Chain A
Amino acid sequence: GNSVTQMEGPVTLSEEAFLTINCTYTATGYPSLFWYVQYPGEGLQLLLKATKADDKGSNKGFEATYRKETTSFHLEKGSVQVSDSAVYFCALSDQGTGNQFYFGTGTSLTVIP
């Protein structure tokens, strides 16, 4: 079946530190992969996506590369800011299962000045 596993939080970093949030997946078909971000009190917003192997998604300084050989889609940012404090969700969508989405449990990030 389809599933997503992402690193447990919470993660606390100092401003300008390097961020990595690990995400691995299992899928029966050829999924698309997504990172969503949820700021306090809000719904989830799409951060970036990749639709096929070796694609790199990027947005707002964040990036993630679709690695089929390691079934991974790790989120990275070179220099985090206080405003990046949020919960980050890795997700996959598989056309073979009617484009249902499968989410990780979320990783809470706090960036301190």
Chain B
Amino acid sequence: DVKVTQSSRYLVKRTGEKVFLECVQDMDHENMFWYRQDPGLGLRLIYFSYDVKMKEKGDIPEGYSVSREKKERFSLILESASTNQTSMYLCASSLRTGVNSPLHFGNGTRLTVT
């Protein structure tokens, strides 16, 4: 079974802090994704990556950046956290582009910015 591990289940940070959310997958998947989930808005794609050192903006990239130095690890960075970034953050991976492979999700990180 694919395992996607997010380093923290809960985080509380202050406004202006730099925040790192880490995600690791163990199945050699090429694609990795970061979503945020908010009530009534569903899942919104922040950034995704199809390969090491590659990144693509999703629907709501403002205020975020990402890093993918190794295939198994995809980090989401909040350069200067703000209260409107309080949310549930979900990392996901999929095998590769061009096949109908599903997304596999981690358990999420609930971030509160005060």
Question: For the side of the interface on A, what is the size category?
Answer: 20 to 34
Q: Do A89 and B103 contact each other (CB < 8 Å), given the known contacts A44-B90, A98-B97?
A: no
Measured between C-beta atoms, what is the minimum distance from A95 to chain B in Å?
A: 6
Identify the closest chain B residue to A32 (Cβ).
Answer: B100
Question: For the side of the interface on B, what is the size category?
Answer: 20 to 34
A89 touches B42 (CB 8 A): yes
Majority SS at the chain A contact face: strand
B42-76 with Cβ < 8 A to chain A:
42-43, 45, 48, 50
Cα distance A36–B31 in the bound complex, in angstroms: 18
A43 touches B31 (CB 8 A): no
A103 touches B98 (CB 8 A): no
Collect the chain B residues with CB atoms within 8 Å of residue A49's CB.
100, 102
